[in-house]
Amino acid sequence: MDVKFESWKEIIKDENIAFKKTKVLTDNILSYCPGCGHGVVHRLVAETIEEMEIQDQTIGIAPVGCAVLAYDFFDLDMQQAAHGRAPALATAIKRLYPEKFVFTYQGDGDLAAIGGNETIHACNRGENITIIFINNGIYGMTGGQMAPTTLEGMVTSTSPYGRDPKLMGYPLRITELIAMLPGTYYVTRQAVYKPAYVRKAKKAIRKAFENQKLNKGVSFVEIVSNCNSGWKMTPVEANKWLEENMLKTFPLGDIKVDGELVKEL
Amino acid sequence: MSEIRLMMGNEAIAEAAIRAGCDGYFGYPITPQSEVLEYLMAEKPYERTGMVVLQAESELAAVNMLYGGGAAGKRVMTTSSSPGISLMQEAISYMAGAEIPCLIANVVRGGPGLGTIQPSQSDYFQATKGGGHGDYCLFVLAPSSVQEMADFVKLGFEMAFKYRNPVMILSDGVIGQVMEKVELIDPIPRRTQEEIIKECPWATTGKTPDRERNIITSLDLDPIRQEKHVMNLKEKFEKMKEDVMWENIQTDDAEYLIVAYGSSARISQKTIDLARNEGIKVGLFRPITLYPFPEKELERLSKQVKGILSVEMSLGQLIEDVRLAVHDRVPVEHYGRVGGSVHTPFQVLEALKEKIVNKY
């Protein structure tokens, strides 16, 4: 910030404001790396909550991982779960407060590895919650280790010669897996690395929250995201790599809409 | 009107939960306490009081459901047995750190490992010294009858919300499975939304415009703030001593003392009668709260006796708290069967003579 010349004070005048941060986000500075998709997804979730006017009825669950401090950024009543357990917390809150909106915000290590069981069973029970799932194919916060979603051949700090499926298993497409369960009502995979995709992701998140009014089961939004720090790339390189590599294993689009599969699995 | 029924301990704790205004029970089957979930599912409390009952996919999920519900200000409980309680330690530690009230009953079976399905008291350390990672204590109640299994549900919820801390009922396979007469309280209505917000202003009930957002977390990366938080917790664990509970049985003229809790206390009560028939003046000191441990009363009693036998179905866990309380003033010895075997009153009497009366 150019504090020396104080020119920024001129710029932030009301008449110059073309874009305003939603009030459902706090003024705290995001702890995410520059270029990371988390910030965009936070904004989309917060904007959705503001637009639906449900800030006072929404309870969010933060995971363990890069988004562990999500409660610092959402101006909502929030709980921070143990690693992978967010769907269990959300299950209880929603059952005890059926009229509230309950969402979890989880990464791929949290949701697909350590919390795989909680994810599958909350989805199978058809809990009437929204799950926001950020998939960047890596454990970001602990420094870039292999995740269940890490691509074949992908280099991480715990697969330094690339992920060898014979030794380390295959990338887990948990979103396709849970779409098979009758308890899920809306399952979609989105991205936020291009403005057009951001708009689509916003629509998906809105639908996922609106669905809670219908009492029909889990709404699950996967966002394929980047991890430029963990992938050891610049943000621009990371987005390019995401498009060329991640989307082959994790193709974008709706998988299940209104309880019906719309894609062959 | 209160009601008198013949019930097993596991049924009594389930019925008591409905009557204590419990909002949600989350459980997973494990012997010897599966009757709790079975009773609740058959009883349909969601029709009687609106109470939620859910069979979780694991003890891990069940206890994390408590974390979610408790953090939202609801009266939530679970029950399990030893191996299941070990799995639950993760969320118990999180709840102690985040100061979340909840009620957990452990109907203890023999261990270690899968051990046995028979009764034991070998989870004393786990219950009273924290159990999971980090510096914390649970408020621990030890019922020695079916009546207390029922009574401690209401009391447990009161303590959980008074101290904003998980409360454990440390029972065992004997108390869980035995059938006895039990007097059940009149049902207490579940709290309304307004009452919950008033009692739990810290809970995640939805951020209304009149207040700041409520955050439930056990995380604080600033070591100075985290240290202050842990010191505040310590103060709370000290304050719990105000609610210490115990029972003295025939201690007034006692020259010897048996210290025992739960089912071992029930068994030892018979031992005292047998011993007194033989002219041995022995009394029974029964801690009802295991944390806080009734150390002051035990210290007082230790001044009048020649020796103490600590009786528990374990290799000797309670005995450490007994020794700490009596400061080596009198000899303290341990007796107890393990691995699911239950001592008889006669075996306890024999041990009392051999280890205490004949020696001191």
pLDDT tens sequence for chain A (265 residues): 555 677 777 777 888 888 889 999 999 999 999 999 999 999 999 999 999 999 999 999 999 999 999 999 999 999 999 999 999 999 999 999 999 999 999 999 999 999 999 999 999 999 999 999 999 999 999 999 999 999 999 999 999 999 999 999 999 999 999 999 999 999 999 999 999 999 999 999 999 999 999 999 999 999 999 999 999 999 999 999 999 999 999 999 999 999 999 999 8
List the one residue out of B234, B242, B259 whose CA is nearest residue B323.
B259
Is B229 a domain residue?
A: no
Same-domain check for residues B25 and B144: yes
Which helix (H) or strand (E) segment holds residue A78: the answer is strand A77-80
Same-domain check for residues B52 and B153: yes
In this prediction, residue A15 carries a pLDDT of: 85
Is B220 a domain residue?
A: no
CB count in 10 Å sphere of residue A218 = 28
Helix (H, G, I), strand (E, B) or coil at A148: coil
Q: Domain holding B312: CATH number?
A: 3.40.50.920
Residue A112: φ, ψ to 5°: -100, -20
Hey, are the CB atoms on B23 and A58 less than 8 Å from each other? no
Is B159 a domain residue?
A: yes
Alpha-carbon span B95 to B78, nearest angstrom: 14
Q: Domain holding B145: CATH number?
A: 3.40.50.970
In this prediction, residue B275 carries a pLDDT of: 98
Alpha-carbon span A89 to A97, nearest angstrom: 12
Q: Answer for the pair B156, B138: CB distance below 8 angstroms, yes or no.
A: no
User: Which residues 87-116 of chain B have a CB within 8 Å of chain A?
Assistant: 90-91, 94, 98
Q: Take residue A224 and report the two structure tokens written for it.
A: 């394929």
Q: What is the 3-state secondary structure (H, E, C) of chain B?
A: CCEEEEEEHHHHHHHHHHHCCCCEEEECCCCCCCHHHHHHHHHCHHHHCCCEEEECCCHHHHHHHHHHHHHCCCCEEEEECHHHHHHHHHHHHHHHHHCCCEEEEEEEECCCCCCCCCECCCCHHHHHCCCCCCCCCCEEECCCCHHHHHHHHHHHHHHHHHHCCEEEEEEEHHHHHCEEEEEECCCCCCCCHHHHHHHCCCCCCCCCCCCCCCEECCCCCCHHHHHHHHHHHHHHHHHHHHHCCEEEECCCCCCEEEECCHHHHHHHHHHHHHHHHCCCCEEEEEECEEECCCHHHHHHHHCCCCEEEEECCCCCCHHHHHHHHHCCCCCEEEECCCCCCCCCHHHHHHHHHHHHHCCC
Closest-CA distance of chain A to residue B3, Å: 28
- Best probe of the A interface among B66, B216, B219, by most A CBs < 10 A, is B216
Same-domain check for residues B9 and B119: yes
Mean pLDDT, chain B, whole residue set? 97
In this prediction, residue A4 carries a pLDDT of: 66
In this prediction, residue A8 carries a pLDDT of: 74
Q: What is the 3-state secondary structure (H, E, C) of A96-140?
A: HCCCCEEEEEEEHHHHHHHCHHHHHHHHHCCCCCEEEEEECCEEC
CB count in 10 Å sphere of residue B274 = 15
Is A161 a domain residue?
A: yes
**Total domains in the fold of chain B:** 2
List the one residue out of B145, B57, B151, B55 whose CA is nearest residue B103.
B151
Is B210 a domain residue?
A: no
- Best probe of the B interface among A24, A54, A64, A89, by most B CBs < 10 A, is A89
CA dihedral B320, B325, B328, B334 (to 10 degrees): -40
CB count in 10 Å sphere of residue A174 = 23
Per-residue buried b or exposed e for B60-75, using 16+ beta carbons within 10 Å of the residue's own CB? bbbbbbbbbbbbbbbb
Is B346 a domain residue?
A: yes
**Domain limits for position A100:** 7-261
- All residues of chain B having their beta carbon less than 8 Å from the beta carbon of residue A58 are 206-207
In this prediction, residue B97 carries a pLDDT of: 98
Check pLDDT > 70 for residue B105. yes
Is B14 a domain residue?
A: yes
Is B353 a domain residue?
A: yes
Same-domain check for residues B277 and B346: yes
- All residues of chain B having their beta carbon less than 8 Å from the beta carbon of residue A56 are 206-209
List the one residue out of A42, A72, A38, A70 whose CA is nearest residue A230.
A38
Taking CA–CA distances from A74, the nearest residue in chain B reads: B213
Hey, are the CB atoms on B60 and A121 less than 8 Å from each other? no
What single-letter DSSP state applies at residue A259?
Answer: T
List the one residue out of B217, B218, B274 whose CA is nearest residue B250.
B274
- All residues of chain A having their beta carbon less than 8 Å from the beta carbon of residue B23 are 96
Hey, are the CB atoms on B72 and A93 less than 8 Å from each other? yes
Beta bridge partners of A139: A145
| % of chain B surpassing 70 pLDDT | 100
Q: Answer for the pair B103, B156: CB distance below 8 angstroms, yes or no.
A: yes
Same-domain check for residues B179 and B254: no
Alpha-carbon span B66 to A98, nearest angstrom: 16
Euclidean distance between the first and the last CA atom of chain B, given in angstroms as a whole number: 52
Same-domain check for residues B136 and B252: no
End position of a domain, from candidates B174, B193, B212? B193
Q: Answer for the pair A60, A70: CB distance below 8 angstroms, yes or no.
A: yes
What ipTM does the predicted assembly reach? Answer: 0.95
Helix (H, G, I), strand (E, B) or coil at A189: strand
- All residues of chain A having their beta carbon less than 8 Å from the beta carbon of residue B91 are 82, 85
Helix (H, G, I), strand (E, B) or coil at A146: strand
- Omega before residue B345 within 30° of 0, cis: no
In this prediction, residue A10 carries a pLDDT of: 77
Same-domain check for residues B15 and B154: yes
Q: Take residue B54 and report the two structure tokens written for it.
A: 């859910």
Q: Domain holding A56: CATH number?
A: 3.40.50.970
Q: Shortest CB distance from A92 goes to which of B58, B68, B215?
A: B68
**How far, CA to CA in Å, does B286 sit from each of B23, B141, B177, B180, B259?**
32, 12, 21, 20, 6
Phi-psi map region of B264: left, alpha, beta (phi>0 left; psi -120 to 50 alpha): alpha
Same-domain check for residues B189 and B251: no
What single-letter DSSP state applies at residue A221?
Answer: E
Is A2 a domain residue?
A: no
Same-domain check for residues B25 and B99: yes
In this prediction, residue A2 carries a pLDDT of: 52
Check pLDDT > 60 for residue B3. yes
**Total domains in the fold of chain A:** 1
Closest-CA distance of chain A to residue B74, Å: 8
Q: At what angle do helices B295-302 and B318-326 cross, to 10 degrees?
A: 60
* Mean pLDDT, residues B171-177 taken together: 97
**How far, CA to CA in Å, does A124 sit from each of A103, A182, A254, B158?**
16, 7, 19, 35
Check pLDDT > 60 for residue B125. yes
Is A109 a domain residue?
A: yes
Closest-CA distance of chain A to residue B290, Å: 28
Same-domain check for residues B189 and B252: no
pLDDT in tens, B287-320: 999 999 999 999 999 999 999 999 999 999 999 9
Hey, are the CB atoms on B216 and A80 less than 8 Å from each other? yes
**Domain limits for position B272:** 247-357
Same-domain check for residues B68 and B187: yes
pLDDT in tens, B22-73: 999 999 999 999 999 999 999 999 999 999 999 999 999 999 999 999 999 9
- All residues of chain B having their beta carbon less than 8 Å from the beta carbon of residue A79 are 67-68, 71-72, 204, 215-217
Helix (H, G, I), strand (E, B) or coil at A257: strand
